[in-house]
Amino acid sequence: MHPDMIQEKLAELRRTFASQKTAGYSWRRSQLLALQRFLAERENDLAEAVRMDFGKSPAEMFFTETAFVGGEVRHALRNLRKWMKPDRARIPLHYRFGRARAEACPLGVVLVIGAWNYPVNTCLAPLVSALAAGNCVVLKPSEQAPHTSRLLAEGIANYLDDSAVEVVQGGAEEARALLRERFDCIFYTGSRRVGREIMQTASGTLTPVILELGGKCPCIVEKNTNLRAAARRIVWAKFLNAGQTCIAPDYVLAHRDVADELLPELKKAIGTLYGPDPERSADYARIVSHRHFDRLESLMHAGNIAAGGERDRNDRYIAPTILTDISPDDPVMKEEIFGPLLPVLTYGTINEALSIVSRNPDPLAVYLFTPDKAVTEKVKGSVRSGGLCINDLLFQSAIHGLPFGGTGLSGFGRYHGRAGFDAFSYRRSVFHHSIFPDPSLRYPPYGPAKFGFLRKIVEMFDT
């Protein structure tokens, strides 16, 4: 979209917002219902678009994208009235008579920039939150998932209120053109590098930002856990979306006593889930681009390949791969892998494991397999992370009632469910005071007796 058109469109969205059309419950509900219709009627088209973008299977697509966003819509529809209700505050005796409420107000016209790896989810889940909160929205899907981006643009124009929601397609150039405009909030999902740039630009206009970034999520496997179940869950979570998941287990830290047993279980699980030749599995996705393929290939040179390793650049295929004999200093342990390579490292004590984790601080998620409460508490207390999942993986992000987001280097701000509604609202403090009575006690001149009396009242009732 040409910059002049962006400005024109933004002016229209601002007019819509100023008209208060989007503020009421019925508009918000109508948009959520329209989004629900879009998801239901275009589910197959969405699945086909994502398959064309990077070979994701319809089943994976359903579980991780359309069903999740559909759930977010249902959750919002069920709770919207409650979320919109002002919170009453207790009024201390000396401020009576009046009403004190915190009212949730929409932010205004917001920008949502989505990532390619979950191209539906990272665009539409924030959109659900933004619409539920009564905002006008400019949505910029990722250019790296072009089929999905096109379908979102067409679908949203047809289903949603086009005076309040606009999709701008394109890449970094279009995103930069958008960032030159002032928004009331920028919600960004993607890499740290771009996140930094967005925050810098936003500081010029004092625009609030929410950054949903990545990181290196560790998975710690302690002693006395069911290794077969742990292995299946790890393999499922790691190789879903061919490892291109922000909360995928990036690497495994296995206790020295169980590592030899865990490894064959991991290999067995790969065979069970994807067959002897995962390239032919209908459930195994491709790497999104040759650039990412080459980046991942260069990370495969450390240690030993204990499973997988096969690849085909033309097909952008990399087999589910397990790497062993990896040192924490290898390049594969220094950046977010974001692909189907799973380094398995061993440790002796939980402190040793935690010191490896601390080399890549603030992961988006931490995974831990253990029956031991003391170990769980130790990990909780030692690692800062956006989420924590014990004895399983990924599900902490699938529960609509749990806030989702990072901390520190993995980003800030929360969404999903109520947290998303709050992220796109601000809470205005409203005190509606009665005009009577109007005792002169509150006004100067105070004098020692009056001041002493007022002081007693304030200290007694001001809680």
- Which residues bind to ligand NAD, rule: CB under 6 A? 113-118, 122, 140, 142-144, 171-172, 175-176, 189-191, 194, 197-198, 212-214, 246, 336, 338, 364, 406, 411
Residue 156 or 231 with smaller CB distance to ligand NAD: 156
Q: For residue 212, what are the CA distances in angstroms to 187, 192, 237, 304?
A: 8, 9, 19, 33
DSSP three-state, residue 117: coil
Which of 411, 433, 413 lies closest to 421 in space, CA to CA?
A: 413
* Closest CB 317 distance from ligand NAD, rounded Å: 19
* Closest CB 334 distance from ligand NAD, rounded Å: 14
Residue 324 or 407 with smaller CB distance to ligand NAD: 407
Residue 154 or 277 with smaller CB distance to ligand NAD: 154
Q: For residue 10, what are the CA distances in angstroms to 21, 110, 137, 461?
A: 16, 10, 9, 49
Residue 298 or 434 with smaller CB distance to ligand NAD: 298
- The Cβ-side half-sphere exposure at 310, using a 13 Å CA radius, reads 9
Q: Taking a C-beta distance cutoff of 8 angstroms, is the pair 292, 337 a contact? A: no
Residue 60 or 336 with smaller CB distance to ligand NAD: 336
* CA–CA separation, 409 and 64 (whole Å): 24
- Catalytic residue check, 246: yes
| φ, ψ dihedrals at 435, nearest 5° | -75, -20
* Closest CB 113 distance from ligand NAD, rounded Å: 5
CA angle 55, 59, 60 (to 5 degrees): 60
* CA–CA separation, 439 and 462 (whole Å): 18
Of the candidates 123, 136, 185, 246, the residue annotated as catalytic is 246
Of all residues in the shown chain, the one whose CB is closest to ligand NAD is 214
Q: Checking DSSP bridges between strand 218-221 and strand 251-255, what pairing results, if any?
A: parallel
Residue 105 or 194 with smaller CB distance to ligand NAD: 194
* Closest CB 15 distance from ligand NAD, rounded Å: 26
Q: Taking a C-beta distance cutoff of 8 angstroms, is the pair 115, 189 a contact? A: yes
* Closest CB 241 distance from ligand NAD, rounded Å: 10
Question: Furthest-apart CA pair in the chain: how many Å?
Answer: 90
In DSSP notation, 285-338 reads ---S-HHHHHHHHHHTTSSEEEE---EETTTTEE--EEEES--TTSGGGTS---
* Number of other residues whose CB lies within 10 A of the CB of residue 78: 10
Cα dihedral 16→21→24→26 (10° resolution): -120
* CA–CA separation, 194 and 206 (whole Å): 18
* Closest CB 145 distance from ligand NAD, rounded Å: 8
Of the candidates 212, 222, 265, 336, the residue annotated as catalytic is 212
Residue 117 or 346 with smaller CB distance to ligand NAD: 117
* Closest CB 64 distance from ligand NAD, rounded Å: 11
In DSSP notation, 151-172 reads HHHHHHHHHS-TTTEEE---SH
- Residues carrying an active site annotation: 212, 246
